[in-house]
């Protein structure tokens, strides 16, 4: 009986030892992967929140797949986009998002809802400046995604709105996607019935508009 109990203790000790060795091996293997992981944060509105399209067809999901296909699997994409979001809402949410996710690159895709609601360009610009400064202060790189609004808002307002994005890009030395809906907004088959949101067929074009600006920041 004592021999049996002694054998059990011995086997238990051996198992604990083996588990410890396995744990250490896994830890040493996992550390480089975790240490090498980087985060890409997308802070946008319905254009980036898969509004009206299946989530698997949305441009942010296509971006995740593009990263895998291009050997950039060390990048994870956090999509913090909300339908109806404004620059004010984005500016308020951003500090917590930066602290929680510690991103290396932040895509700021906001302003469209502000423009459609006729918000003063100065207010929109101020909110975006706040976001860009917060991103840069965190050590991350910012990408501004330019937007335009329909001409029925008047030539003066539409021009002032469109000028916000390149002006901020120049002032704060950020990357810029000139116009997010380029090649989409004037194609009926690529736009939903509301004339604002791209269809599932338009999502790949959104990615193509972003990718040439984003890719150099990932390498």
Q: Where are the alpha helices (DSSP H) in the chain?
A: 2-36, 59-69, 87-101, 112-116, 121-137, 155-172, 203-218
Active-site amino acid positions: 46, 194, 197
Query: Which conformational region is residue 105 in: left (phi greater than 0), alpha (psi within -120 to 50 degrees), or beta?
Result: beta
Q: Under 8 Å CB-to-CB from 182, ≥6 apart: which residues?
A: 209
Tokens describing residue 215: 């890719």
- Are the beta carbons of 94 and 43 closer than 8 angstroms? yes
- Are the beta carbons of 91 and 131 closer than 8 angstroms? yes
CA 213 vs CA 30, 146, 207: distances in Å:
31, 12, 10
CA 190/CA 202 separation, integer angstroms? 5
């Amino acid at each position: 009986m004592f021999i049996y109990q002694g054998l059990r203790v011995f086997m238990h000790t051996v198992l604990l030892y083996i588990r410890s060795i396995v744990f250490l091996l896994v830890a040493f293997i996992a550390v480089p992967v975790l240490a090498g992981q980087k985060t890409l944060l997308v802070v946008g509105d319905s254009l980036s929140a898969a509004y009206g399209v299946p989530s698997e067809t949305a441009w942010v999901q296509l971006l995740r797949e593009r990263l895998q296909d291009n050997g950039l699997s060390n990048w994870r994409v956090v999509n913090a986009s909300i339908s109806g979001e404004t620059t004010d809402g984005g500016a308020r949410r951003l500090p917590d998002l930066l602290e929680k996710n510690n991103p290396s690159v932040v895509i700021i895709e906001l302003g469209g809802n502000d423009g459609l609601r006729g918000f003063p360009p100065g207010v929109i610009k101020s909110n975006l400046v706040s976001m860009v400064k917060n991103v840069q202060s965190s050590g991350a790189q910012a990408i501004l995604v330019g937007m335009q609004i329909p001409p029925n808002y008047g030539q003066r307002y539409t021009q002032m709105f469109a000028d916000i994005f390149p002006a901020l890009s120049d002032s704060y030395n950020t990357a810029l996607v000139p116009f997010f809906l380029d090649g989409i907004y004037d194609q009926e088959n690529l736009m939903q019935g509301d004339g604002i949101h791209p269809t599932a067929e338009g999502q790949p074009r959104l990615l193509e508009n972003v990718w040439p600006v984003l890719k150099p920041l990932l390498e």
